[in-house]
Amino acid sequence: MSVLYGSAPTVLVAAHKPYWMPPDSLYLPVQVNAASASNSIPGFVRDDDGDNISNKNARYSELTALWWGWRNLDCKALGLAHYRRHFAGSGEGGVLTLAEAEEMLKRTPVVVPTMRNYMIESVASHYAHTHDSAHLDALRAAVRHVSPQRLAVYDTQMASIKVHMFNMMIMRREVLDPYCTWLFDVLSSAEERISFDGMIAFEERCVGRLGEFLLDVWLRSEDVPYEEVPLIELEGVNWVKKGSSFLAAKFLGRTYNKSF
């Protein structure tokens, strides 16, 4: 059942704990993994309200917020951000404002973060060095199963050194609906092909990570225009630690066991 939140664009902010939220009306804080939480976070909506996959948060991560918004909100454009990571703009905390989002969505149907450039390896090889490469086999098989006509685009994207990350975007509704339908169909198929036995919590979030690669597959295969916006990390990034971990994964085979 849809809930009318307004005709203006809405950006969901996925969070699992109380945290500062932009005061701009563009943003709607969403408590993810709410189905397993003992308390509600004041001022947040819950991802287990209405049509939801909140109980899959351990695997799907912030995408349970996207599912909730897609299935339960009636707004002309919907987006997703993270409590510590936002699209940059002129608003409080340096985040995007409603006026800025509306202006961009007049020009383009999709807003995405600036592409990440791995420079020395492909999207697929980076994942294989930092996580379990069997997840990519499952994802490719899922794409082939759900939409074989997109498989060539998937292979091209995974061989690229550039990718839009973090499952972050803002989409006009007419683009969002078919994208989310396809995204969650593919991820459901991939999930069925992955063995989660013995995984630690960090590893189990692999379904959400795989979802990050599908945005560009969709944009490429549908030839959807988009506009890029830089990201702002509210807690900063330790680039020395991140860079050293990246190199250790590539050259020493040390897969990631935590986020950076």
pLDDT of residue 241: 53
Confidence of residue 101 (pLDDT cuts 50, 70, 90): very high
pLDDT of residue 154: 98
CA distance 188 to 152: 20
pLDDT of residue 109: 98
Mean local confidence (pLDDT), 206-233: 98
Domain ranges of the chain: 3-252
- Is 177 in contact with 171 (CB distance < 8 Å)? no
pLDDT tens digits for range 146-163: 999 999 999 999 999 999
pLDDT of residue 7: 73
Tokens of 239: 């680039």
Tokens of 175: 């683009």
Mean local confidence (pLDDT), 97-107: 97
**Taking the alpha carbons of 201, 68, 36, 15 in that order, is the dihedral positive or negative?**
positive
DSSP state of 88: B
Mean local confidence (pLDDT), 118-137: 96
pLDDT of residue 239: 44
Mean pLDDT (the chain, rounded): 92
Mean local confidence (pLDDT), 47-73: 98
H runs (alpha helix) in 36-172: 57-60, 63-72, 98-107, 123-130, 134-146, 151-159
> Which of 243, 217, 206, 208 lies closest to 131 in space, CA to CA?
206
Mean local confidence (pLDDT), 58-78: 97
pLDDT tens digits for range 162-214: 999 999 999 999 999 999 999 999 999 999 999 999 999 999 999 999 999 99
CATH topology for 3-252 is: Spore Coat Polysaccharide Biosynthesis Protein SpsA; Chain A (3.90.550)
pLDDT at 143 over 80: yes
Mean local confidence (pLDDT), 62-77: 97
pLDDT of residue 237: 57
pLDDT of residue 238: 52
Mean local confidence (pLDDT), 73-100: 97
Mean local confidence (pLDDT), 225-239: 86
Confidence of residue 2 (pLDDT cuts 50, 70, 90): very low
Compute how many other C-beta atoms are within 10 angstroms of the C-beta atom of residue 193: 15
